[in-house]
């Protein structure tokens, strides 16, 4: 298995700019947007939101509410990723549709859908249910695509000898998952989970503070608490809220993620044992606890019975077995779905055609302005994440000190501290533009940093020894070893970072703060303005324009870089 195979898409998916699967995916998104916009017409004109109180004693309850939404979305994301990734990896016919669809979905700026989802759900569901469900859906869509791509890449890069061994032992679906797929993909899935959870905080905070004119969609939680404290100028409450948020993130790191990393180290495929494996005091305490060991012995029979039931229920078939032949019911369902997409596509096109030319001009100008801010934020992020990420990934002592700090800092959502930063720069010339780039940077840099750390730490030890024996130092070592090794990871992080920046533009370019509305020229501001004013044709056009822009950037800019990484910087 090549060093970089687990992050590169298969060659056959990179030959054409667009496929019929891409067209179907874009049409599906357009129809879904149109349906949401039509439902939004029926949303109540005024919605009363919750009262957010600033007493510090309520912060533990707000923290539990926020964690509960994150956990519900993550559980849905894990189930979706495992099922969707396996279907795409082991069914060639399904892969031709599922992977282009996933490729487009991960390019969609999720926050642009939040107004549509909230307004449409509030038209058909009780307000509290609609807002809670919309927040979970938003967090789910910020986590699921990344997890699914990581799981799919793990399944498609299982070494041939391991696949052959599973066939020789005639492992059925469950045993293959338990003995091969789960152990092989666990470390990658766990790191992707940490990144997805950290990103989920950003979208959770955005969902908890969302308002549309007279419609108050806020949710009681840490995000709403911090926004209310900033609006009232209550510095003490702001410090209490940020302190609680950081404490929550540190607790999750110590009691969830670090123990899981220490446990998952057993699944590494290495010729030599790692000299400094991940450690966790809480994992060691649980591992040596007599009470936990006794509980494990009590639950062991139940686990064995569940395992036996799953073995009996799982079919004995190889993953490469052909898919079932289509029956008449499948054909009928496909025809009905095609008719629905065609009807929705025509109606969406009619709504777009009614939009004045002047509005399309604003969309074009806004797209260019937002694109410029995205580019600036990416350049700034690259300037510091590459040297810092390489230092952390190649220096064990430095990593032991900085990596926990980076993980905790990355989990602090930019939307939580954005009102505070806005207070500092709002009176400066171009203050909102500076604040918008800051928020985009905060939603961009961590994807790059984590990927650079992963790429630097994955450099084979024998190549490090070889470069040292050759006397490579300074720029020669960077040009010959480090930059080629981390280049695929930079591309992977760049795609995620670009999507994060476009997402952040929705809240960065249009802000309701201190009783006034602040906005700057940009596509994100147009989407927020269209939502606030109820201009649903403009909302549909601006959202679709952002989707198409991000997809085109991925295909015209990032995809050639992926191909370059695969062909020139692939180690085998």
Domain assignment present for residue 294? The answer is no
Is the pLDDT at 352 greater than 90? The verdict is: no
For residue 186, the SS3 value is helix
Is the pLDDT at 11 greater than 50? The verdict is: no
545/20: higher pLDDT: 545
**Mean pLDDT, rounded, of the chain:** 78
Instruction: Provide φ and ψ at 320, rounded to 5°.
Output: -85, 5
Q: Which structural domain, as residue segments, surrounds residue 209?
A: 5-10+17-268+328-568
What span, in angstroms and rounded, lies between the C-alpha atoms of 252 and 171? 36
User: pLDDT band for position 73 (50/70/90)?
Assistant: very high
Is the pLDDT at 364 greater than 90? The verdict is: yes
User: pLDDT band for position 269 (50/70/90)?
Assistant: low
| CA 505 to chain CA mean position, Å | 16
At 283-324, the pLDDT tens digits run 888 888 888 888 888 888 887 888 788 777 766 554 444 444
Task: Determine the pLDDT at residue 471.
Answer: 76
At 77-96, the pLDDT tens digits run 999 999 888 888 887 777 77
Residue 533 tokens read as 């004013």
Lowest model confidence (mean pLDDT) among 32-41, 246-255, 295-304, 378-387: 32-41
User: pLDDT band for position 5 (50/70/90)?
Assistant: very low
Task: Determine the pLDDT at residue 138.
Answer: 83
User: pLDDT band for position 368 (50/70/90)?
Assistant: very high
At 542-561, the pLDDT tens digits run 888 888 888 888 778 887 88
Number of domains into which the chain is organized: 1
Percent of the chain whose predicted confidence (pLDDT) is above 70:
82
Lowest model confidence (mean pLDDT) among 43-47, 98-102, 125-129: 43-47
Angle at 29 between CA 24 and CA 35, to 5 degrees: 125
Domain assignment present for residue 465? The answer is yes
Instruction: Provide φ and ψ at 517, rounded to 5°.
Output: -105, 125
Task: Determine the pLDDT at residue 43.
Answer: 63
**Sequential DSSP letters for 286-324:** HHT-HHHHHHHHHHHHHHHHHHHHHHHHS----TTSPPP
Average pLDDT over residues 55-70: 92
What span, in angstroms and rounded, lies between the C-alpha atoms of 6 and 89? 13
213/383: higher pLDDT: 383
For residue 48, the SS3 value is coil
**Beta strand extents in 450-538 (DSSP E only):** 510-513, 516-519
Average pLDDT over residues 158-187: 80
Domain assignment present for residue 288? The answer is no
Task: Determine the pLDDT at residue 273.
Answer: 53
Q: Residue 245's closest CA among 373, 90, 420?
A: 420
At 204-261, the pLDDT tens digits run 877 887 776 667 778 899 888 887 887 787 888 888 988 898 899 888 888 988 888 8
Domain assignment present for residue 171? The answer is yes
At 474-505, the pLDDT tens digits run 788 888 888 888 887 888 788 878 877 887 88
Average pLDDT over residues 3-29: 54
Residue with tokens 């179907």: 24
**Sequential DSSP letters for 444-507:** THHHHHHHHHHHHHTS-HHHHHHHHHTT--HHHHIIIIIHHHHHHHHHHHHHHHHHHHHHHHHH
Asked if residues 85 and 152 have their Cβ atoms less than 8 Å apart, the reply is: yes
| CA 305 to chain CA mean position, Å | 36
CATH number at residue 251: 1.10.3720.10
3-state helix, strand, coil in the chain (%, to 5): 80, 0, 20
Task: Determine the pLDDT at residue 451.
Answer: 80
**51, 221, 420, 436 from 228: Cα distances, Å:** 10, 11, 12, 20
Domain assignment present for residue 246? The answer is yes
Asked if residues 109 and 503 have their Cβ atoms less than 8 Å apart, the reply is: yes
Task: Determine the pLDDT at residue 12.
Answer: 42
Task: Determine the pLDDT at residue 366.
Answer: 93
What pairs with residue 216 in β-bridges?
Answer: 211
Task: Determine the pLDDT at residue 378.
Answer: 92
Q: Residue 240's closest CA among 251, 250, 230, 254?
A: 230
What span, in angstroms and rounded, lies between the C-alpha atoms of 303 and 307? 6
Task: Determine the pLDDT at residue 45.
Answer: 60
Domain assignment present for residue 284? The answer is no
Domain assignment present for residue 317? The answer is no
34/490: higher pLDDT: 490
Domain assignment present for residue 290? The answer is no
At 275-286, the pLDDT tens digits run 566 778 888 888
């Amino acid at each position: 298995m090549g060093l970089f195979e687990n992050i590169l898409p298969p060659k056959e998916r990179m030959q054409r700019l667009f496929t019929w699967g891409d067209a179907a995916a874009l049409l599906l998104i357009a129809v879904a947007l149109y349906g949401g916009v039509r439902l939004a017409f029926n949303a109540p004109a005024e919605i009363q939101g919750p009262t957010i109180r600033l007493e510090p004693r309520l912060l533990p309850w707000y923290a539990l509410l926020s964690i509960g939404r994150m956990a519900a979305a993550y559980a849905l994301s894990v189930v979706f990723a495992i099922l969707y990734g396996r279907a795409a990896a082991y069914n060639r016919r399904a892969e031709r549709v599922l992977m282009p669809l996933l490729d487009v979905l991960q390019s969609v700026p999720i926050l642009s859908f939040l107004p549509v989802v909230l307004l449409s759900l509030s038209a058909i569901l009780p307000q509290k249910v609609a807002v809670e469900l919309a927040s979970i859906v938003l967090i789910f869509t910020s986590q699921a695509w990344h997890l699914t791509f990581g799981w799919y890449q793990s399944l498609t890069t299982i070494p041939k000898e391991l696949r052959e061994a599973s066939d020789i032992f005639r492992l059925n679906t469950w045993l293959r998952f338990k003995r091969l797929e789960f152990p092989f993909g666990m470390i990658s899935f766990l790191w992707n989970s940490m990144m997805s959870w950290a990103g989920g905080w950003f979208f959770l905070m955005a969902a908890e503070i969302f308002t549309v004119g007279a419609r108050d969609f806020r949710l009681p939680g840490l995000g709403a608490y911090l926004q209310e404290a900033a609006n009232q100028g209550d510095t003490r409450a702001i410090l209490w809220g940020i302190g609680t948020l950081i404490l929550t993130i540190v607790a999750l790191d110590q009691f969830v993620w670090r123990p899981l990393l220490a446990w998952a180290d057993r699944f590494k495929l290495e010729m030599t044992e790692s000299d400094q494996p991940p450690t966790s005091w809480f994992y060691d305490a649980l591992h040596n606890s007599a009470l936990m060991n006794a509980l494990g012995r009590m639950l062991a029979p139940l686990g064995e019975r569940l395992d036996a039931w799953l073995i009996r229920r799982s079919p004995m078939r190889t993953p490469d077995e052909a898919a079932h032949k289509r029956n008449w019911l499948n054909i009928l369902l496909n025809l009905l779905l095609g008719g629905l997409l065609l009807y929705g596509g025509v109606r969406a096109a009619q709504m777009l055609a009614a939009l004045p030319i002047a509005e399309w001009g604003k969309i074009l100008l806004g797209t260019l302005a937002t694109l410029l801010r995205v580019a600036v934020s990416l350049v700034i992020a690259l300037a510091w994440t590459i040297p810092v990420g390489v230092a952390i990934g190649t220096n064990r002592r430095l990593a032991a000190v900085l990596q926990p700090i980076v993980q905790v800092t990355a989990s602090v959502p930019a939307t939580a501290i954005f009102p505070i930063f806005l207070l500092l720069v709002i009176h400066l010339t171009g203050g909102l533009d500076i604040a918008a780039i800051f928020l985009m940077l905060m939603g961009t840099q961590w994807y790059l940093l984590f990927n650079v750390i992963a790429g630097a730490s994955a450099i084979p030890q024998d190549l490090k020894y070889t470069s040292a024996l050759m006397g490579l130092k300074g720029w020669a070592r960077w040009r010959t070893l480090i930059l080629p090794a981390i280049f695929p990871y930079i591309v992977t992080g760049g795609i995620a970072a670009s999507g994060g920046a476009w997402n952040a533009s929705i809240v960065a370019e249009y802000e309701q703060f201190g009783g006034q509305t602040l906005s700057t020229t940009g596509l994100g501001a147009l989407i927020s303005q269209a939502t606030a004013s109820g201009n649903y044709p403009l909302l549909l056009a601006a959202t679709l324009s952002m989707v198409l822009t991000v997809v085109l950037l991925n295909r015209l800019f990032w995809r050639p870089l992926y191909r370059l990484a695969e062909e020139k910087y692939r180690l085998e």
